[in-house]
Chain A
Amino acid sequence: MAATDRSLARLALAAAALPGLAVRPAAAADEEGIDIQFGHYQEGEVDLGGVRSKHAPIQADSLHARLALRFTGRWRAAFNYVQDAWSGATAVASAPLVSGPNVTWQADGVTGASPYLYLYAQLDERLRPVRRDANGIVAGPDTRVAQTITGASREVRRQLDGTFTREFDLWSMDVGAGTSREPDYRSDFASLAAHWRLGQDRYTLNAALSATSSMTDATLDHDGSPYVYGYYDFLGDNSYNQRHTTSLVKPGDMSPVIHGGRSDWTAGLSLATVITKRSLLEMGVGASRSRGYLGNPYKAMEVAFLDPRQQFGRAGGNPGADYEWDAQVIAIPEERPDTRNGQTFDLRYVRQVGRHEAALHAGYRYYRDDWGIHSHTVELQWVQPLARGWTLTPSVRWYAQSQADFYAPWITSRQGLLNPVTDPQLGQLYINGASPHDGHVYFEDPSIPAPIDNDPNSWNFGNPITGTGGYALVDRTTGKAVDTQDLASSLMPWNALYDQSLLPRHYSADTRLAAFGMLSGSLAIGRAFDNGLSLAFSWEHMRRSAALGLGGGYDTRFADRDADLFSLTLRGELHATAGHPAHAGHVAGDAAMLAPADFLGAHAHAAAGSWMIGYRVERERQGGAMRRDGRVVGDAELVASACPQPGCYARPTDMSMTMQMLEVGYTIRAGLALMAMPQFVDMRMAMRSLVGAPPGDGMGPIDAASMHMHHPHTTSGVGDTPIMVLWHGGDELRFAGGLGISVPTGAAGLRMRPVMARTLGYLDYDMQAGSGTWDLLGAMSVAGGDARLAWGAQAEATLRTGGHNDHGYARGNLLRAYAWAGARLAGPWSVSMRLAWRHEAPMAGAYAGTLVPIVPGDQAWSVGGTRLDAGAGLSLALPALGGMHDRLTLEWLQPLSQRLRGYQLDRQGSVGCSLSLAF
């Protein structure tokens, strides 16, 4: 090799080691930074055959925070926290439209609260449902299907995961692990991946392996599960557990609970290639292997049982009838295979187009598995950089899948739902309905005289004791005739539930397993600023379409719907602002570095054009005793006085509120800044019954609401969004002020989901995510001292100026004031102390809609009050992250005294953690 070639090769190798010259899997994946994303998903309504569901369609709020750090030159790590809150209507099953899976009795066409799962239909000779016209005459087959809708409880899922990466000269390795938790499902996962840079970085070979262990722990819908057969047999014995090995059903407080475990393995291999100076190609193959309980606990299959004993059409020997079969359409649990193996093939091509730095991304994915599903996905994305750091990204996605081998919207079975248990010689057998497991079986014997009832207190006194056929009832075990009317009256025909072996081995009506397609288009607009901050908003509209399904199969247009997905992503690159002139040596800011994280002056140190991002988590807990005017109150007083007549039924035992706040600040000019603080809130309340509570109301709304006591109430979602203009000034003494509004982005009318068809109305006032009113915000602060020792004070007000909200009430004005002192310790550490006063004025108005008051917090007069807290905080300056005023703080606030209005649970204190970064 010539010396020139060797030099060139060495240069090439050195250049290849520079970051960014290998194929990049994802933008910013290997750069330090913090990402925060808010997402909102909203589904449209499905066609229920002219009936509107009273349950709102599915919607979800999502929060995703990501932190990527480089520890040394060779190690880096990324951590993700994801929180989703889902709520809304979900389909339990689907059934022939003519059988009425969504019947309405109301004039406004809104379906009732209970899912209709116990149905009846008439079928023709080809087992198609028949429709009758207004005169009751069969008008022909009607194969339309509709889903049965029920309301899903609002559920929150939290996921935490992390990945550590070790880089070597020509390859790197990722080791990751994480966990995902939600009330009915939890999963833990781990992954291992390796990336090799080959051929002077012309190729990147990636190999990945992941394992996930998951557990379902699902409480079945208490409205729907009583109408789903197949968990228990006619005698009340658990028949589900006898048929299943990977899942089991246990009785729960409100309805049965399904437990099941599963494991998932995935492996993937991909090769990314530099094709030209302007194009890349990546190809990959993957395999997945799933074992265990792979079913959906909330889905049921409607079976049209054609009971030969219950036929009144032509099938029953009635040639004059205008239909063939009578069908009882009954829901039973779905049955899926316990194994699933899938394979994928991926292709992705990226090419710069034209002279305007636009990039075309084209992707294709093929999937197939041994459930009979195969799918194609095609994605096209156009990334168009514009002037001043703006980027516009339109994209389209086409997805189509075939149906699973065992998918059907509903099925038929030529047997009865209940079938008489008979003896070849003795005929129909009977059991004691009052004691079905006593081992005694009875039959009617026409050959012996029936005993005469000799009990003078019996309604049958003096008459023969017989069965429904008029003959004597005989105990098959003892051979003796039943001689008491009490026993005879409790005997009932012994029936067996349907024969599972006559049904297909696997069946599911989950429309996700049907043949359909999904078309979606999205538009994202983003801007990257010079200081390492970037902001992006995206909107994706998607439409499910059965017409796009692959390979024929059932027509599932009844499940077609639209959906929208919005996301707002904020990214700050760490180290991007080191030495930024905006942050060089601000004495005022240094004193503010010792203040509590929510101190107004802490945001007032930046120069024009600079940004501040903060992320704060606060968790407040209530527990222990219930109080009124500072004194502890017992159950008797709560029952008698804390609720309207007939009194309270329950009290909270533990409440928590977690708020995650994103603070985004922009300094318009020196001394003037704009702040927006979107929030995500979670509330949880556990309860217990009160001793001496009034009697129930006979399965009315009170009893239905009381069923909710068996599990904690939880709410979660976006809270209100304060937006403020801040200004500051002064020299020895620094003053800051703020004025703004609180945008009512949080829900103020969250309700309990119905139970037993009872509308239960609103949740407690303190369980609402927002105020529902446009509020005026004001704040002012003063601070003094220097970088070693500082002090300050702040007053804030939230004034409810917008009248009552849409739900009939307005929270009371909120006033806060506190004084603080801070001192720098050794190195980057500092401490702060504060004394904080908080007052929430009485509420105006009350819930205007349905409310079933069972706990004190349902009353508007048991909200708010005054308290005094003492706080201690610890702060860690983080200049290594690039900003002079970056810091992490942790603070504990402990109530010193509290005078809460009405009857409320003791405040136990709160803990807050804040990360502030300047750019």
Chain B
Amino acid sequence: MDRIGFRIRRAWLPAALAAAAMAGCASVQPWERGVLARDSMALDPAPMASSLSRHVHESREASAGGSAAQGGGCGCN
């Protein structure tokens, strides 16, 4: 029972965090988002380099998958 409860708590954790984030954010008007529009503030500021790095890590670590990336090859060696 405790285990089930733990699973439920863990499943709700992301949702709770999301709700907290949405509730906690200030009302930032569009014209106040100049900083957020910079390349350095993009969620991935260097997508080409990070794509290569991710490919290498996924071929060397076990926790591949779960992202939207596809392909990537066998990575058998």
Q: Is B28's CB under 8 angstroms from A277's CB? A: yes
Q: Does A383 sit within 8 A of B, measured CB to CB?
A: yes
Q: Is A159's CB under 8 angstroms from B71's CB? A: yes
Q: Is A399's CB under 8 angstroms from B71's CB? A: no
Q: Is A513's CB under 8 angstroms from B62's CB? A: yes
Q: Is A90's CB under 8 angstroms from B77's CB? A: yes
Q: Using an 8 Å CB-CB cutoff, how does the interface string of B28-44 with A read, 1 for contact, 0 for none?
A: 11111101111111111
Kindly identify, within residues 251 to 304 of chain A, every residue whose CB is under 8 Å from any CB belonging to chain B. 264, 266, 268, 271-278, 280-283, 285-288, 290, 296-299
Q: Using an 8 Å CB-CB cutoff, how does the interface string of A362-387 with B read, 1 for contact, 0 for none?
A: 00000101010111010001010100
Chain A minimum-CB-distance residue to B52: A39
Q: Does A12 sit within 8 A of B, measured CB to CB?
A: yes
Report the bound CA distance from A365 to B25 in whole Å: 22
**Chain B min CB distance to A404 (Å):** 7
Q: Is A298's CB under 8 angstroms from B65's CB? A: no
Assuming the contacts A86-B77, A184-B76, A277-B35, asked whether A359 and B40 have C-beta atoms less than 8 A apart, the reply is yes
Which of B21, B41, B49 is close to A273, meaning CB atoms less than 8 Å apart?
A: B21
Q: Is B30's CB under 8 angstroms from A189's CB? A: no
Q: Is B47's CB under 8 angstroms from A344's CB? A: no
Complex contacts, B76 vs chain A, CB 8 Å: 184-185, 218, 296-299
Residue among A62, A275, A377 with most chain B CB within 10 A: A275
Q: Is B37's CB under 8 angstroms from A24's CB? A: yes
Assuming the contacts A266-B68, A273-B25, asked whether A512 and B60 have C-beta atoms less than 8 A apart, the reply is yes
**Chain A min CB distance to B28 (Å):** 5
Q: Does A540 sit within 8 A of B, measured CB to CB?
A: yes
Report the bound CA distance from A617 to B70 in whole Å: 26
Report the bound CA distance from A182 to B71 in whole Å: 11
**Chain A min CB distance to B34 (Å):** 8
Report the bound CA distance from A664 to B13 in whole Å: 50
Complex contacts, A90 vs chain B, CB 8 Å: 77
Q: Does A898 sit within 8 A of B, measured CB to CB?
A: no
Report the bound CA distance from A359 to B39 in whole Å: 10
Report the bound CA distance from A468 to B14 in whole Å: 72
Q: Is A280's CB under 8 angstroms from B77's CB? A: no
Assuming the contacts A26-B43, A352-B41, asked whether A182 and B70 have C-beta atoms less than 8 A apart, the reply is no
Chain A minimum-CB-distance residue to B71: A180
Complex contacts, B70 vs chain A, CB 8 Å: 161, 178, 187, 189-191, 210, 212, 264, 266
Q: Is B63's CB under 8 angstroms from A342's CB? A: yes
Assuming the contacts A27-B39, A182-B74, A344-B67, asked whether A276 and B49 have C-beta atoms less than 8 A apart, the reply is no
Chain B minimum-CB-distance residue to A19: B37
Q: Does B1 sit within 8 A of A, measured CB to CB?
A: no
Report the bound CA distance from A191 to B67 in whole Å: 11
Chain A minimum-CB-distance residue to B13: A345
Chain A minimum-CB-distance residue to B44: A26
Which of A41, A283, A296, A358 is close to B18, meaning CB atoms less than 8 Å apart?
A: A283
Complex contacts, A739 vs chain B, CB 8 Å: none
Q: Does B46 sit within 8 A of A, measured CB to CB?
A: yes
Complex contacts, A404 vs chain B, CB 8 Å: 62
Report the bound CA distance from A672 to B53 in whole Å: 37
Q: Is A21's CB under 8 angstroms from B71's CB? A: no
Report the bound CA distance from A811 to B60 in whole Å: 39
Complex contacts, A522 vs chain B, CB 8 Å: 53
Assuming the contacts A283-B18, A518-B61, asked whether A24 and B41 have C-beta atoms less than 8 A apart, the reply is yes
**Chain B min CB distance to A157 (Å):** 5
Report the bound CA distance from A90 to B47 in whole Å: 29
Q: Does A201 sit within 8 A of B, measured CB to CB?
A: yes
Complex contacts, B40 vs chain A, CB 8 Å: 27, 352, 357-359, 383, 385, 391
Report the bound CA distance from A340 to B70 in whole Å: 16
- Total A-B pairs in contact (CB under 8 Å)? 251
Q: Does A350 sit within 8 A of B, measured CB to CB?
A: yes
Assuming the contacts A25-B44, A359-B40, asked whether A288 and B52 have C-beta atoms less than 8 A apart, the reply is no
Assuming the contacts A385-B40, A391-B40, asked whether A64 and B52 have C-beta atoms less than 8 A apart, the reply is yes
Q: Is B77's CB under 8 angstroms from A152's CB? A: yes
Q: Is A565's CB under 8 angstroms from B56's CB? A: yes
**Chain B min CB distance to A722 (Å):** 24
Q: Is B44's CB under 8 angstroms from A27's CB? A: yes
Complex contacts, B65 vs chain A, CB 8 Å: 264, 266, 288, 290, 340, 342, 369
Which of B53, B56, B73 is close to A182, meaning CB atoms less than 8 Å apart?
A: B73
Chain B minimum-CB-distance residue to A348: B43
Report the bound CA distance from A457 to B31 in whole Å: 105
**Chain B min CB distance to A545 (Å):** 13
**Chain A min CB distance to B51 (Å):** 7
Residue among B25, B44, B56, B70 with most chain A CB within 10 A: B70
Assuming the contacts A200-B30, A202-B27, A375-B63, asked whether A216 and B74 have C-beta atoms less than 8 A apart, the reply is yes
Q: Is B73's CB under 8 angstroms from A159's CB? A: yes
**Chain A min CB distance to B68 (Å):** 4
Residue among B18, B21, B43, B72 with most chain A CB within 10 A: B43
**Chain B min CB distance to A409 (Å):** 15
Report the bound CA distance from A66 to B46 in whole Å: 13
Q: Does B66 sit within 8 A of A, measured CB to CB?
A: yes
Q: Is B47's CB under 8 angstroms from A26's CB? A: yes
Chain B minimum-CB-distance residue to A178: B71
Q: Is B22's CB under 8 angstroms from A203's CB? A: yes
Assuming the contacts A12-B30, A544-B60, asked whether A274 and B36 have C-beta atoms less than 8 A apart, the reply is yes
Q: Does B17 sit within 8 A of A, measured CB to CB?
A: yes
Report the bound CA distance from A358 to B35 in whole Å: 10
Q: Does A894 sit within 8 A of B, measured CB to CB?
A: no
Q: Does A28 sit within 8 A of B, measured CB to CB?
A: yes
**Chain A min CB distance to B44 (Å):** 4
Q: Is A393's CB under 8 angstroms from B46's CB? A: yes
Assuming the contacts A15-B30, A218-B76, A283-B18, asked whether A288 and B57 have C-beta atoms less than 8 A apart, the reply is no
Q: Does B48 sit within 8 A of A, measured CB to CB?
A: yes
Report the bound CA distance from A88 to B47 in whole Å: 28
Report the bound CA distance from A538 to B45 in whole Å: 13
Complex contacts, A343 vs chain B, CB 8 Å: 66
Q: Using an 8 Å CB-CB cutoff, how does the interface string of A160-192 with B read, 1 for contact, 0 for none?
A: 010000000000000000111010110101110
Q: Does B26 sit within 8 A of A, measured CB to CB?
A: yes
Assuming the contacts A193-B68, A218-B76, asked whether A399 and B57 have C-beta atoms less than 8 A apart, the reply is yes
Report the bound CA distance from A218 to B40 in whole Å: 43
Q: Is B36's CB under 8 angstroms from A41's CB? A: no
Which of A285, A290, A538 is close to B46, meaning CB atoms less than 8 Å apart?
A: A538
Assuming the contacts A16-B30, A35-B48, A266-B65, asked whether A359 and B77 have C-beta atoms less than 8 A apart, the reply is no
Q: Using an 8 Å CB-CB cutoff, how does the interface string of A73-107 with B read, 1 for contact, 0 for none?
A: 00000000010101010100000000000000000
Report the bound CA distance from A296 to B71 in whole Å: 16
Assuming the contacts A344-B67, A352-B35, A375-B62, asked whether A12 and B29 have C-beta atoms less than 8 A apart, the reply is yes
Q: Does A208 sit within 8 A of B, measured CB to CB?
A: yes
Q: Does A422 sit within 8 A of B, measured CB to CB?
A: no
Q: Does A495 sit within 8 A of B, measured CB to CB?
A: no
Q: Does B24 sit within 8 A of A, measured CB to CB?
A: yes
Q: Is A569's CB under 8 angstroms from B49's CB? A: yes
Complex contacts, B48 vs chain A, CB 8 Å: 35, 37, 64, 66, 567, 569, 571
Which of B14, B24, B47 is close to A285, meaning CB atoms less than 8 Å apart?
A: B14
Assuming the contacts A201-B30, A512-B60, A518-B61, asked whether A28 and B39 have C-beta atoms less than 8 A apart, the reply is yes
Report the bound CA distance from A21 to B72 in whole Å: 32
Q: Is B67's CB under 8 angstroms from A29's CB? A: no
Chain B minimum-CB-distance residue to A38: B52
Q: Does A536 sit within 8 A of B, measured CB to CB?
A: yes
Report the bound CA distance from A281 to B28 in whole Å: 14
Interface, chain B (partner A; CB < 8 A): 13-14, 17-18, 21-22, 24-33, 35-49, 51-53, 55-57, 60-63, 65-68, 70-74, 76-77
18 A–B pairs (Cβ distance < 8 Å), ordered by A: A16-B30, A23-B36, A23-B43, A35-B48, A178-B70, A191-B70, A193-B68, A266-B65, A275-B25, A282-B43, A298-B76, A359-B41, A371-B62, A518-B61, A540-B53, A542-B56, A567-B49, A567-B52
Known pairs A275-B21, A369-B63 / 12 extra A-B pairs, C-beta < 8 Å: A12-B31, A66-B48, A161-B71, A182-B73, A191-B70, A357-B35, A359-B41, A361-B43, A361-B45, A375-B62, A526-B46, A567-B52
